[in-house]
Structure 1
Amino acid sequence: MNHKEVASQLIPLLGGKDNIISATHCATRLRIVLQDDSKAQKTEIEELDGVKGAFLSSGQFQIIFGTGIVNKVYGPFSEEVGLKEKEAVDHSEAVKKKMNPFARFARTLSNIFVPIIPAIVAAGLLMGLLGMLRTFEWVAPDSAFIVLLDMFSSAAFIILPILIGVSAAKEFGGNPYLGAVIGGIMTHPALLNPWGLGNAEPDMLPFLGFEIALIGYQGTVIPVLLAVYFMSKLEKGLRKVVPNSVDLLVVPFITIIATGFVSLMIIGPLGTFVGDGITTILNFVYNHVGFVAGLLFGGTYSLIVLTGVHHSFHAIEAGLIASIGINYLLPIWSMANVAQGGAGLAVFFKTKRAKTKEIALPSAFSAFLGITEPVIFGVNLRYRRPFIGAMIGGALGGAYVVFMNVAATAYGLTGIPMIAIVLPLGTINLMNYLIGFAIALVAAFVATWILGFKEEEK
């Protein structure tokens, strides 16, 4: 594959250089914001060497190349289009301008929480290792190794508001270090740390006729999101009116003191109330509707992936982990992803077209590793019925994992890699996850095989 040649062929098929506003890439896809989306020639683009699929979603025209290829195409593409020479355009802002308000909100949450995933995954794995050491008594309960691992595994959740503060401030246009300070204020040692303290009651501090509860927000999500949003708006507003000569002195001072007071007096308690309300509703649905919820969510999750809104679920999952210590939503999402791979396998064995076989097999295995876009957009959605087969498999797998109360200790991993964050909760939890995995895969394969699909003539 000649990456430079493919990049050159792409440009006219996207409507020319003048139609390309900005571009970036993720692990598998080239993501492009176009002036006029109708000028993109989807069918011709999908016939290019190395292209596994193309689609318009979330304000971007996205071309699937796969891991290890997309970055090699992006280099000559960006150079030939002249992205570096063009007037600097923030890709994220360019994308948001083409979205509806709900999609913009979901995109914002995604941009905040996706960068934090490595820290949460590491914490989940460390918790799993700690749990196994204690369960199987591989070391003494009072061992220094246990004490240190306990510190390492809980750290990410204790300072979660600081991590969110940095990431949210970047997304909201504020100073990320001021965002970290706000997160630090909300997790200050002078405040009661609710992480693992059960029903301990905080002290009350009288201030201007108010009673401020001296309780920290370690491990919380919504309070710090609201606080940093307020901080970013205040900071940007101040910079418009404060003279440049005293900006460095005045803006950070007023921003921190005002946000600090508002956060501890109003935003923190309000955010906690909202977060607890969301968790209560989810727990009620999970405990009372049971496998029906898994059936519904597992079956429709792939539809949500089409909109790009699924990344916003990380905020809810982080809230669950902070509140109850487990994530019972991720196993459902995993079943939907695995089912897409199962449907892709059925297409591989059933199709007679060489190009489809070339795409279907690696895309299916990619889905088993948690990356579903290649098989969804390159195979299943193209033939439509395999996508329906995958929804059936996801529904059945989702129903099973909910019925058996399968849960994880982190978020961000699905498919085979998710085993690492399922195992910490016990062997039974792992076995039921693997059974659900098999149900989703086989059901999607069989449903796709029975439903069949119409071969493309090309």
Structure 2
Amino acid sequence: MASNEEIAKQVIEAIGGEENVQSIAHCATRLRIMVHDQEKVDKDAVEEIDKVKGAFFNSGQYQIIFGTGTVNRIYEAVTNQGVSGRAKEEVKEDAKKEGTAFQRAIRTFGDVFVPIIPVLVATGLFMGLRGLLTQDQILALFGLTADSIPENFLLFTEVLTDTAFVFLPALVAWSTFRVFGGTPIIGLILGLMLVSPALPNAWDVAEGAAEPLNFFGFIPVTGYQGSVLPAFFAGLIGAKVEKFFRKRVPEALDLIVTPFVVLLIMIVLSLFALGPILHVVENWIFDGTIALLELPFGLSGLIIGFFNQLIVITGVHHIFNFLEIQLLDNLGFNPFNPIITASIAAQGGAALAVAMKTKQKKVKTLAYPTSLSAFLGITEPAVFGVNLRYGKPFIMGLVGGGVAGFVASIFNLKATGMAITVIPGTLLYLNSQLFLYILVNIIAIGVAFTLTYLFGYKDKE
């Protein structure tokens, strides 16, 4: 197998040489390249390069799928060849005129939330571990009961499980300022102001244990613990306000005046206008999501499980991050995750069927690792590298996702966190649901594998 340096040279040559590269960046699985002339890209040559699991143009970018971990090393090797690497935000700026307005908006939403996801994943794992350690059966193994757990230990676990959601507006405002060209630390402070202890706690208000502050007789003001939209729009507008003043305030005064003016304007606007209005919008979105998830007879799982990967290939699936955050914050659990898991596991099952049925060595060497990637929660290599390429395996994967999503809904499965699925996602079900979660994954893989093996793939295709 070629080294990463050799692969980097082959990639540069296949995309038309360094002079054809406008900018280059990477995400979790893909090398994202803006090229000057798409006609100079030798697509067939790219597909033949070692470790490449698929490639396609999307939103003005040529995206080459290498998979989690590998893409970081290939990116480093490419930039070491002298190709100019730029921040992903700059590459997005180059592509901002590509795609529909909706696609551009969702991409931006994704840019804001992707950096936050790792801490939310960790929080979900902490919730899962706490659920495991506090189960009566587990405690009984050590001769303990629920009453035996020290109060200080429970308080310690609350620090681990609650902090990210308590200060979520600070994380969102920080990331939004970063994406829209503001100073991230100003965004962080603005987000912290939205959850200041001086304001009534949003969760206490929701439970009736506290009352909102009433300004001017008609504006209710509370903290925004766990809220997303108020912090997102505060960050978006705040970054624009900051750039406006940076251009007009004399350099000698900029350090003092600009942060002062931005924070003053934005906290007034956030607490008295953006917050109250967007909190209502947030509740509407949440209620709509709940209405979908509560469709009877497992219909929600069937619909979401079938269509999820269709949405993934359009590139607008980052909107799900917002929905899952809302579910965890409002309900304390995430019924969306097991359905998404079903759709992901099914695509892995379809790719595995292709790997086992084909007699072509290159297809095997591509399909086996991409199916493993799907079982670890990343479907792009399997979808773009194998299933979509041959067509029918992707459809069989959709069917498997719908069937297993239906089962997940019937059993009312609920995750303790978000953003990890299939094998890693097991950590979000370390409670009485573990067996059912495994069963849903087996059904997804089994249905997609069987349909693909019997009807979905022939080597001549």
TM-score after normalising by structure 1: 0.92
Counterpart in the other structure of 2:63:
62
Structure 1 residue 199 corresponds to structure 2 residue 208: yes
Q: CA distance change for structure 1 residues 343 and 454 in 2, over 3 Å: closer, same or farther?
A: same
* CA deviation after TM superposition for structure 1 residue 143, in Å: 2.8
Quick one: distance in 2 between partners of 1:293 and 1:265?
A: 37
Q: Secondary structure at the match of 2:34?
A: strand
Runs of 4+ displaced beyond 6 Å: 86-89
* CA deviation after TM superposition for structure 1 residue 71, in Å: 3.4
Q: What is the CA deviation profile of residues 377-426 of structure 1, one whole-angstrom value per residue up to 9, with x for unaligned ones?
A: 11111111111110110111111111211111221101111111122xx3
* CA deviation after TM superposition for structure 1 residue 21, in Å: 0.9
Correspondence 1:156-171 to 2 at 5 A = 156-171=164-179
Counterpart in the other structure of 2:29:
28
Structure 1 residue 185 corresponds to structure 2 residue 193: yes
Q: CA distance change for structure 1 residues 347 and 262 in 2, over 3 Å: closer, same or farther?
A: same
Quick one: distance in 1 between partners of 2:59 and 2:335?
A: 27
Amino acid at match of 2:71: V
Contact 1:370 1:416 (8 Å CA) reproduced = yes
Counterpart in the other structure of 2:437:
433
Counterpart in the other structure of 1:113:
113
**Structure 2 residue ranges without an equivalent (≥5):** none
Aligned length: 451
Amino acid at match of 1:163: L
Counterpart in the other structure of 1:175:
183
Q: Secondary structure at the match of 2:317?
A: helix
Correspondence 1:226-245 to 2 at 5 A = 226-245=233-252
Quick one: distance in 2 between partners of 1:377 and 1:170?
A: 30
Quick one: distance in 2 between partners of 1:133 and 1:89?
A: 41
* CA deviation after TM superposition for structure 1 residue 131, in Å: 3.1
Q: CA distance change for structure 1 residues 31 and 144 in 2, over 3 Å: closer, same or farther?
A: same
Counterpart in the other structure of 2:450:
446
Counterpart in the other structure of 1:41:
42
- With 98-107 and 176-185 compared, the bigger mean Cα shift is at 98-107
Structure 1 residue 354 corresponds to structure 2 residue 355: no
Quick one: distance in 1 between partners of 2:22 and 2:438?
A: 44
Q: CA distance change for structure 1 residues 20 and 97 in 2, over 3 Å: closer, same or farther?
A: farther
- Aligned CA-pair RMSD: 2.2
Q: What is the CA deviation profile of residues 73-98 of structure 1, one whole-angstrom value per residue up to 9, with x for unaligned ones?
A: 333422335316x9999223223343
Q: CA distance change for structure 1 residues 65 and 326 in 2, over 3 Å: closer, same or farther?
A: same
Quick one: distance in 2 between partners of 1:175 and 1:74?
A: 27
Contact 1:130 1:150 (8 Å CA) reproduced = no
Q: CA distance change for structure 1 residues 455 and 195 in 2, over 3 Å: closer, same or farther?
A: same
Contact 1:298 1:335 (8 Å CA) reproduced = yes
Q: What is the CA deviation profile of residues 232-259 of structure 1, one whole-angstrom value per residue up to 9, with x for unaligned ones?
A: 1211122222222222222111111111
Correspondence 1:165-314 to 2 at 5 A = 165-195=173-203, 198-206=207-215, 209-289=216-296, 291-314=298-321
TM-score after normalising by structure 2: 0.92
Quick one: distance in 1 between partners of 2:181 and 2:76?
A: 28
> Identity over aligned residues, as a percent?
40
Q: What is the CA deviation profile of residues 152-192 of structure 1, one whole-angstrom value per residue up to 9, with x for unaligned ones?
A: 21111111111111111101211111111111111010111
Amino acid at match of 2:163: A
Quick one: distance in 1 between partners of 2:311 and 2:14?
A: 28
Q: What is the CA deviation profile of residues 85-116 of structure 1, one whole-angstrom value per residue up to 9, with x for unaligned ones?
A: x9999223223343332121111111111111
Quick one: distance in 1 between partners of 2:219 and 2:130?
A: 36
